[in-house]
Amino acid sequence: MVDILHRVAIKASTAEVYTALTTVEGLAGWWATNTKGKGNDISGVLQFRFDAGGFDMEVLELDPAKRVRWEAVEGPEEWVGTHVDWNLEQVDDYAVVLFKHEGWKEPVEFMHHCSTKWAVFLLSLKSLVETGKGAPDPHDVKIDNWN
């Protein structure tokens, strides 16, 4: 089992970041413009749709301003059953975000792609919360020939 790890710090409160992770409006502002579902209820399901396909995430854990945990229940086969884990901590003026996408079975080439792409979207999240403007799909930074 191998994991994707990232860390960003956002000049904001952890409550503001939590809102961007648990509301459709927030998620559509940094990840996928085409987001539907329920992000602020345990067992709620979020549907993220991209040009090339999409993912459904079930909300497993919610601890306001501190933690969010999702399970990928639909999507590319490499994703199904993996977990996306968000830990938030206030350090002075920053909401520090520790991110994990864990439970990949193999470090396949697609995992390399997703690791870089998660970094791009985490910087989009940072930008959304700090400036009001993120770069969600389809306006996201393109990284490779897979997008």
Question: Residue 11 Cβ, how far from a second copy at the closest point, in Å?
Answer: 9
| Distance from C-alpha of 74 to C-alpha of 52, rounded to nearest angstrom | 14
Between 83 and 113, whose beta carbon lies closer to a second copy? 113
| Distance from C-alpha of 137 to C-alpha of 134, rounded to nearest angstrom | 10
Which letter does DSSP use for residue 112 in this model? H
Between 3 and 74, whose beta carbon lies closer to a second copy? 3
Residue 64: φ, ψ to 5°: -50, 130
Chain positions contacting a second copy, by CB under 8 A: 2-9, 91-92, 94, 96, 98-99, 107, 109, 111-113, 115-116, 119-120, 122-123, 126, 141, 143-146
Question: Residue 117 Cβ, how far from a second copy at the closest point, in Å?
Answer: 9
Question: Residue 103 Cβ, how far from a second copy at the closest point, in Å?
Answer: 13
Are the CB atoms for 117 and 143 separated by under 8 Å?
yes
